[in-house]
Amino acid sequence: MIELAAVFAVAGAASNAVGTAFQRKVASTSQRRGIRLVVELARQPFWLIGMAGVICAALFQSLALVNGPLSLVQPLFILELPFALLVAAPLMHRRLPHSGWWGVGGCVVGLAVLLVAAAPHGAVDQAPLVRWIPALCLCVGAMAGAVVLAGRGRPPARRAALLAAASAIGNALTAALLKSATGTFADHGFTAFLRSWQTYGFALAGTAAVILLENALQAGPLAAAQPALTIGDAVVSLTLGITLFDERIRTGWWLVPEACGALLIVVGVLVLSRAVQRIVVLPVRAEQRDLAT
């Protein structure tokens, strides 16, 4: 089951990366906004491919959470960043810089070391309400606090990092609620799924996370937002997995390789964030300037 969860999680990360890259590519060529933008994009084959990628990612994530612990599934979504870079480079007709390959290697090797050393195990599908209440209060409170601290007038990089951190908490909370809701669906069927409060909870949390992410990307550089988003999601997911679903990781001397793996991931994400900035964001802005003239 653990192996199946890992396969589904990696497939979800790859699907989400493809979806994001294709959607960004098509959206960069349009000057429309709001509903008109959606109508125009819906006619583009590349945008439809991107939407299919996002939908497949959600399905793969649900299957992964049914079959494995949250503390395994969500960290594997770190692979979305290297996947996105590998897809976006040829799509944007750009070459992957040498630093990008080092970043990919750092993320992949670091994640492998961390998960092998931690060996997440012991998950259950449901958590009692007495655990959900403090988890919800802390997550929502932390998200609200980050938004307040990221108020207007703050430096752009700080605003981007804080809003991305709030989005990361929202993503982790969404995954926890999704795990509970999909567990209800697997055990009791669709009717019970619709009656579960977690079903509507993950929809609200997911919507909030997306809105916060869009604001983070507009507030400042991607190199400031992406590390907070990627690392924050993994850390909060691990915490929620342990406190809500009785998941366990190895401790003792295993903490040494776990720390080394986490450090490699952080370095890899920082390097990849700068590479993505050069490959995706800068060409998009150039295309928008060309269209404006």
What would the DSSP string read from start to end of 26-66? HHTT----HHHHHHHHTT-HHHHHHHHHHHHHHHHHHHHHH
Question: Amino acid identity of 220?
Answer: G
CB 232 within 8 A of CB 265: no
What integer is the mean pLDDT of 251-257? 93
Residues 145-186 have pLDDT tens digits of 999 998 877 888 888 889 989 999 999 999 999 999 998 998
187 and 87 fall within a common domain: no
d(CA 209, CA 230): 13
Whether residue 282 has pLDDT greater than 80: no
Poorest-pLDDT segment among 20-24, 70-74, 134-138: 20-24
- What's the confidence (pLDDT) of residue 82? 86
67 and 176 fall within a common domain: no
Residue 242: inside a domain = yes
Total residues found in the chain within this entry? 293
186 and 201 fall within a common domain: yes
CB 16 within 8 A of CB 80: yes
Query: Domain range spanning residue 220?
Result: 124-246
150 and 210 fall within a common domain: yes
Exposure string of 248-270, with b = 16+ CB inside 10 Å and e = fewer, is: bbeeeeeeeebeebbebbbebbb
Residue 256: inside a domain = no
Residues 219-232 have pLDDT tens digits of 777 677 778 888 89
What integer is the mean pLDDT of 86-107? 79
Residue 251: inside a domain = no
- What's the confidence (pLDDT) of residue 178? 93
At 280, the pLDDT band (50, 70, 90 cuts) reads: low
Which residues, in sequence order, are bridge partners of residue 248? 121
130 and 214 fall within a common domain: yes
Helix (H, G, I), strand (E, B) or coil at 242: helix
Residue 274: inside a domain = no
At 257, the pLDDT band (50, 70, 90 cuts) reads: very high
d(CA 218, CA 215): 5
154 and 102 fall within a common domain: no
Residue 135: inside a domain = yes
Whether residue 195 has pLDDT greater than 80: yes
Residue 190: inside a domain = yes
206 and 188 fall within a common domain: yes
Whether residue 28 has pLDDT greater than 60: no
What is the 8-class DSSP label of residue 93? Answer: T
25 and 65 fall within a common domain: yes
Residue 257: inside a domain = no
99 and 140 fall within a common domain: no
Helix (H, G, I), strand (E, B) or coil at 128: coil
pTM attached to this predicted model: 0.82
Q: How far out from the chain centre does Cα 223 lie?
A: 15
116 and 189 fall within a common domain: no
Whether residue 73 has pLDDT greater than 50: yes
Which residues, in sequence order, are bridge partners of residue 121? 248
130 and 242 fall within a common domain: yes
- What domain count does the chain have? 2
Whether residue 286 has pLDDT greater than 50: no
Residue 179: inside a domain = yes
At 285, the pLDDT band (50, 70, 90 cuts) reads: very low
